[in-house]
Chains A and B, each alone.
Chain A
Amino acid sequence: ETGVTQTPRHLVMGMTNKKSLKCEQHLGHNAMYWYKQSAKKPLELMFVYSLEERVENNSVPSRFSPECPNSSHLFLHLHTLQPEDSALYLCASSHLGAANTGELFFGEGSRLTVL
């Protein structure tokens, strides 16, 4: 596989469920990102990981918990979500440091519906 792969592509969960979104990149990048895109709204940056260390957390509620076990994998653990959390969750990766061109590579997204 190449590029950035996200699973599952679609997820429906109740407000009391615990689920996780997974992202995997095969591009040798050293930074990974979670973005949220609600209906008819711009993309919102949620978290940034650089070399497996979280470097940015844009005031995201604690019911979203990211995990970056290595430079190729990124998870978003979901717990006690609200219906307004229903959105498209996008993962991206890039080079940082000397190889940084500012180009982000996105996955296809995970469409989350919270009932």
Chain B
Amino acid sequence: DAKTTQPPSMDCAEGRAANLPCNHSTTSGNEYVYWYRQIHSQGPQYIIHGLKNNETNEMASLIITEDRKSSTLILPHATLRDTAVYYCIVSSHSGYALNFGKGTSLLVTP
């Protein structure tokens, strides 16, 4: 699985868009980009995933660059409940499990 690089922490004002970047320069053609988040002391929660097209669901949008070397998770209107650690993971569907890195600790402030 490709290695990912994320900033260790970010702040965002409540109601504003939170844009969380992720670099994955070694991504191969069959590897998906996954985003999970973990609210303090809870199990991680799936957010979204994509291969090469941008994706949107009720929680977030995922923008993947054309060269697939980086992506951005967008929370369009961040709330205090979005404060969590956000993990960007790159993996193929043939793998058994996802390997989590250190993620980005997002703090949403009033």
A-side contacts of B45, CB under 8 Å: 106
Interface string of B2-31 (1 = CB under 8 A from A): 000000000000000000000000000000
Stretch in contact with the other chain, from A48-56, A62-70, A77-85: A48-56
Q: How many of chain B's residues have a CB under 8 angstroms from any CB in A?
A: 21
Select which of A45, A105, A108, A111 is within 8 A of B97 by beta carbon.
A45
The reply to whether A105 and B99 form a contact with Cβ atoms under 8 Å apart is no
Inter-chain residue pair count (beta carbon < 8 A) = 52
The reply to whether B103 and A48 form a contact with Cβ atoms under 8 Å apart is no
**Main secondary structure on A side of the interface with B:** strand
Select which of A102, A103, A104, A109 is within 8 A of B42 by beta carbon.
A109
A104-B96 contact, Cβ under 8 Å, with A43-B44, A90-B43: no
Residue of A nearest to B42 (CB): A108
Q: Taking beta carbons and an 8 Å cutoff, which residues of B are in contact with A?
A: 32, 34, 36, 41-46, 49, 91, 93, 95-103
Nearest 3 pairs of A and B residues by beta carbon: A106-B43, A43-B100, A48-B96
